[in-house]
Structure 1
Amino acid sequence: MDNDLPAGYEISTDPDRLDADLVHRWLSQDAYWALGRPREKHDLAVASSLNFGVYERSAGAQVGYARVVTDRATFAWLCDVYIAPEARGLGLGTALAAAVRDHLAPYGVRRVLLATADAHEVYAKAGFVALPKPDWWMAIVNE
């Protein structure tokens, strides 16, 4: 799973490695899409998802996170992608998106979606494109 990672980092789907406090702090205090997310809601989201952590190999410190909501058959939603500020600019976000893509490939998932306000180029490097038929998509948005 580490093909596109810079040297010195690794990605794991082992839920026991996640630093739940750190991830909640990142998302609820620094991620525009999750500001103020209550801990109980965060914990439920993590427990109901496939989780990816990015770690420094030497120290084992977590520097990134992503989660995927999926049925592991037809559909997946990549969300809560976060790279710690001190680790940004190294290609870890793109490597993390590529690791998710590669992890889901054996399932034959037809669509992997995500939403981003500002990181289109990061995801494009991992193969994501704008919705080919956006007029087909609808949403219920409860903000």
Structure 2
Amino acid sequence: MNNQHLRFTKGKFTVTTDPAFFQLEAIHDYLSQSSWAPGIDAETVRISIQNSLCFALLDGTRQIGFARLVTDYATFGYLCDVYVLNDYQKSGLGRWLIECCHAHPVMSRLRRIMLVTDSAPWLYQKLGYNPLNRPDFVWQINRPDIYRKPGQK
């Protein structure tokens, strides 16, 4: 695994891979209310961050965005948990966050980088992603209720 921490700056904004700057509470708060991980618990978020290559988007010291790459650091990466807070959207920061992800040396060596999204497909297409949408190519086991506690709706 790669222990090199990168930092990118754009005016008052920073993207960093240094876990010292990751604000677990802010990341958990967003993800637990997201469409893809509703109800996810803080410990699961912590473990997922610990075992992935992550990128924090900061406005000064406030975490306003995030992206996580699940990877073997050699051939494959799955880009996920990408977000920018609503107040900062439509300012180019989402695109910049993904560009910073792509600028990481690990990303340059990966043969396949995948993502699953139903939002901002235009953004990902501009950055080189193409929809697969081929029958029987991408498979999954989907367990949407895994983060719900018994009796929780």
TM-score, length-normalised on structure 2?
A: 0.81
Counterpart position of 2:56: 53
Establish whether residue 94 from structure 1 lines up as the match of residue 95 from structure 2. yes
Distance in 1 (alpha carbons) for counterparts of 2:49 and 2:88: 22
Q: Secondary structure at the match of 1:142?
A: coil
Shift of 1:133: 4.9
Distance in 2 (alpha carbons) for counterparts of 1:66 and 1:102: 13
Establish whether residue 66 from structure 1 lines up as the match of residue 70 from structure 2. no
Q: Secondary structure at the match of 1:81?
A: strand
Counterpart position of 1:14: 18
Greater relative contact order (Cα < 8 A, sep 6+): 1
Counterpart position of 2:36: 33
Q: Secondary structure at the match of 2:73?
A: coil
Q: Tell me the C-alpha RMSD between the 2 structures.
A: 1.8
Distance in 1 (alpha carbons) for counterparts of 2:83 and 2:20: 18
Q: Secondary structure at the match of 1:64?
A: strand
Please, which runs of 5 or more residues in structure 2 have no aligned partner?
A: 1-6, 145-153
**Number of corresponding residues:** 137
The answer to which structure has the higher helix fraction is 1
Larger Rg: 2
Identity of aligned residues (%): 34
Runs of 4+ in 1 over 3 A off after TM superposition: 132-135
Q: Secondary structure at the match of 2:140?
A: coil
TM-score, length-normalised on structure 1?
A: 0.86
